[in-house]
Amino acid sequence: MKVIDHINQAKDTLVSFEVLPPLKGKGIEALYKHLDPLMEFKPSFINVTYHRSEHIFKKRADGSFEKVVVRKRPGTEAICAAIMNKYNVDTVPHLICGGFNINETEDALINLRYLGIDNVLVLRGDAAKNETTFDAEPGGHRYANELLKQVTNLNAGIYIEEDLKGTQQRTEFCIGVAGYPEKHFEAPNMQTDLRYLKEKVDCGADYIVTQMFFDNEKYYAFVKSCREAGINVPIIPGLKPIYNKKQLTVLPKTFHIDLPADLANEIQKCKTDQDVEEVGKRWLLEQSKDLKKNGVPVLHYYTLGKPHIVADVVREIR
């Protein structure tokens, strides 16, 4: 079932989760263990992130170096199919520009259709860890709206190969895109960022999922600005628990977001990580209650290693 259909048919705020693929060489059992305590809440869908390839230099026997492409968390498509099979829940694989050329992207989308997956979250993706700026794959997409256009072309039955035109089935992907209540860090200003977001919606995006935020007023202001800009698709808030003091510096640096002073001050007073978890859980709970009261379509939780915190919160708001 498509995400947009879940939203349109819902009588109350839905719940969804986001998970990481296991590290390369690890089994899927740890992921199942992560998801098991969350399944009692009957999530409408589960997002599975995609992590682009990285370039490393490996030393040869003769002392020279060769450039090697590695992926630390492979398997997004297969994991989505495994989750669907085990839990009978819809999944949303992330699809990014980095690491794919357009032909590989088309093949990946065809594989998703074969697996019965009809949702994708289209993202440009971040620069590789050893690169300062985003570089597109040779023959790949530079921007999310280019990738989004390829998905909508397949939905219209338009494939890359000329001799396939008119002979292939149309795909039926529901397409999500990312939104940034505090502005994408590469955008010069919020107005530019909103204009780019509207381009993605005009290209065929069905809904928006936001970057994490810790101040609901920023989400409400973002939704208001989107509506004023003519962006009328559902806007799903993305939520994440804080569970250690290190996140006070890591989250702003990595995701270019602000943490409210009240939250930061309470965390600074904590003596242990368990104390931080309690503060983070209370904050997430109050965020969730307020958002649900104000009628958001879905509460989307970035679980990422701390499913028990999210489970405790969802249990109190259901």
Using an 8 Å Cβ cutoff, are 226 and 195 in contact?
Answer: no
**What is the C-alpha separation between 36 and 199, in angstroms, rounded?**
38
pLDDT tens, residue order, the chain (318 aa):
999 999 999 999 999 999 988 877 788 898 999 999 999 999 999 999 986 655 445 556 665 555 445 455 567 899 999 999 999 999 999 998 877 788 989 999 999 999 999 999 999 766 555 555 556 566 667 778 999 999 999 999 888 876 666 667 889 999 999 999 999 888 899 999 999 999 999 999 999 999 999 999 999 999 999 999 999 999 999 999 999 999 999 999 988 999 999 999 999 999 998 999 999 999 999 999 999 999 999 999 999 878 999 999 999 997
Q: Could you give the 3-state DSSP secondary structure of residue 72?
A: coil
Tokens for 272, please give them: 């242990």
Domains annotated on the chain, with CATH: 3-317 (3.20.20.220)
User: Global pTM?
Assistant: 0.90
